[in-house]
A and B are shown apart, each in its own frame.
Chain A
Amino acid sequence: SAVISQKPSRDICQRGTSLTIQCQVDSQVTMMFWYRQQPGQSLTLIATANQGSEATYESGFVIDKFPISRPNLTFSTLTVSNMSPEDSSIYLCSVGDGQFNEQFFGPGTRLTVL
Chain B
Amino acid sequence: AQKVTQAQTEISVVEKEDVTLDCVYETRDTTYYLFWYKQPPSGELVFLIRRNSFDEQNEISGRYSWNFQKSTSSFNFTITASQVVDSAVYFCARRDTGRRALTFGSGTRLQVQP
Contacts and interface: CB of A to CB of B under 8 A. Distances in A.
A90 B43 contact: yes
A101 B43 contact: no
B43 A107 contact: yes
A13 interface: no
Interface stretch (A40-48, A68-76, A80-88): A40-48
B70 to A, nearest CB: 18
Contacts of A41: 106
B66 to A, nearest CB: 15
Interface residues of B, number: 19
Contacts of B35: 103
A104 B105 CA distance: 17
A39 to B, nearest CB: 11
A33 B101 contact: yes
Given A42-B91, A42-B107, A43-B91, A107 B102 contact: no
A33 B100 contact: yes
Nearest to A101: B50
B50 A45 contact: no
Interface residues of A, number: 22
B52 A101 contact: yes
A45 B102 contact: yes
Contact of B44 (A31, A101, A107): A107
B64 interface: no
The 10 A-B pairs at the shortest CB distance, nearest first, are namely A105-B45, A42-B104, A43-B104, A45-B101, A42-B106, A107-B44, A33-B101, A100-B100, A42-B107, A108-B43
Interface of A: 1, 31, 33, 41-45, 48, 90, 92, 94, 96, 100-105, 107-108, 110
Given A43-B102, A103-B50, 8 more contacts: A31-B100, A42-B91, A42-B104, A45-B102, A48-B100, A48-B101, A100-B95, A105-B45
